[in-house]
Amino acid sequence: MNAPIQAIRGMNDILPEETPRWQHLEQLTRDWLSAWGYHEIRTPIIEQTGLFKRAIGEVTDIVEKEMYSFTDALNGEQLSLRPEGTAACVRAVVQHNLLYQSAQRLWYSGPMFRHERPQKGRYRQFHQIGVEAMGYADADMDAEHIVMTADLWRRIGLGGIRLELNTLGDSDARARFRNRLIDWFESHADQLDDDARRRLHTNPLRILDSKNPAMQALIEAAPRLEHDLDDAARAHFETVQRIVRAHDIEFRLNHRLVRGLDYYNYTVFEWITDELGAQGTVCAGGRYDGLIGQIGGKPHPACGYAIGIERLLALMEHAGIVPVDAGPDAYVVFAGTHAEAFAWQSARSLREAGLRVVLHCGGGSFKSQMKKADASGARFACIIGDDEAASGQISLKPLRDAREQARMPVEHVISTLLSKDCA
């Protein structure tokens, strides 16, 4: 016998007992996004590697060590599985000139791929729902994104997710801050770890994002970007905070919040939970006014965020929000020469009436079929023997309560199963 083949480490099967939770969240997020006027966009899972290098930045964890990249064996193109959704979304908007007519409120969802060390809340294939608003320069859109995520937590029934906010200013402010940071870290070079030393001249802001415990004291004492902000950046950030406050959403200003990706400016935010251990960020995003130009489009301001679905599901489970798959309304069992055709026909009529119906497959005695009916979680068994088939009737047996079995025409089965006191 061949040895069984396992799934790739860090890439999970989502089994039938888990899919109801996914579907519940997917339905809920679709309704939520449509309530906020966002439209779905779907892009390929594979893109040119160059897109991610350009969008995310060469000197980032994602591009340096987390991307699944390969050479197309047929034409030699350098390709990557998408590690995030924003780059492709911007690429598609530019390619199809979507901003020509109007600004866009967009969303996407699906699997993302990063070669990370798998652990709880961190996988190599994981799922995100992302939101991007392109063509919006003002702070009201940054605020909309924060307020709408708070609305999602409310719709799901989740409390206790903290909001952290920061501003990165415009590119001039970042440039000034960058120089001050380099000077300061250079004067403390003996305390830098390898990652920080490597990034000192390419991406010093990223040092602030370091999770190395040995670096924390140094980072805490580092200069702050606050001092480099101009009036416009301050006003933008004030407006975001004012709108967020007006919605009674609490937040903490975190001057070290710089985000893992290169393309952010102005507002950055994260929603963090303390319930999931180290992998506590469930949602992260901010403004990226420079990105569309960087991808080769006519420059347009934009902002967006992404939600980690696995982390959100873990949080829901932790909070006891566990939807289960409702069994079928009816399980049809049948035996006898005339019964088969009538059973298929009855199942069809029930389904056409909007009921969920499982028709027994594989034959067997009534007794063994009834065991399957019970195990299916169905509310009722529809029992069809030659007798029933001859009279055009079904014996309807409640499986979840003590009511009596009764024989009736298909129309009565339908009205019984659809009636409220049977739901």
Long-range contact set of residues 148-152: C-beta below 8 Å, sequence gap at least 24: 148/32, 148/36, 149/271, 149/283, 149/305, 149/307, 150/247, 150/249, 151/32, 151/36, 152/28, 152/29, 152/32, 152/307
Residue 350 C-beta: closest distance to ligand ATP, Å = 41
Q: Dihedral, CA atoms, 26, 32, 34, 40, nearest 10 degrees?
A: -40
Residue 84 C-beta: closest distance to ligand ATP, Å = 5
Interface residue list for ligand ATP (CB under 6 A): 84, 114, 116, 121-123, 126, 128, 260, 279, 281-284, 306, 308, 310-311
Nearer to ligand ATP, 109 or 393 (CB): 109
Chain centroid, CA 161 distance in Å: 16
Residue 161 C-beta: closest distance to ligand ATP, Å = 11
Q: Name the DSSP letter for residue 119.
A: B
Q: How far is CA 305 from CA 51, 271, 302, 335, 416, in A?
A: 19, 10, 11, 56, 47
Q: Which of left, alpha, beta for 315 (phi over 0: left; psi -120 to 50: alpha)?
A: alpha
Q: How far is CA 351 from CA 273, 355, 357, in A?
A: 43, 5, 6
Residue 276 C-beta: closest distance to ligand ATP, Å = 9
Nearer to ligand ATP, 288 or 342 (CB): 288
Nearer to ligand ATP, 18 or 116 (CB): 116
Residue 113 C-beta: closest distance to ligand ATP, Å = 9
Nearer to ligand ATP, 10 or 20 (CB): 10
Reduced to 3 states (helix: H, G, I; strand: E, B; else coil), residue 351 is: helix
Residue 260 C-beta: closest distance to ligand ATP, Å = 3
Nearer to ligand ATP, 84 or 142 (CB): 84
Q: How far is CA 314 from CA 211, 219, 273, 275, in A?
A: 22, 31, 11, 9
Nearer to ligand ATP, 120 or 298 (CB): 120
Nearer to ligand ATP, 136 or 269 (CB): 269
CA proximity to 130, closest of 108, 163, 104, 105: 108
Q: What share of the chain is helix, strand, coil (3-state, %, to 5)?
A: 40, 20, 40
Residues constituting the chain: 423
Nearer to ligand ATP, 56 or 92 (CB): 56
Q: How far apart are CA 88 and CA 48, in angstroms?
A: 10
Enter the tokens of residue 124.
């190599």
Residue 33 C-beta: closest distance to ligand ATP, Å = 17
> Which residue of the chain is nearest ligand ATP when measured via CB?
308
Residue 279 C-beta: closest distance to ligand ATP, Å = 6
Nearer to ligand ATP, 132 or 228 (CB): 132
Residue 306 C-beta: closest distance to ligand ATP, Å = 4
Residue 423: CB atoms within 10 A of its CB come to 8
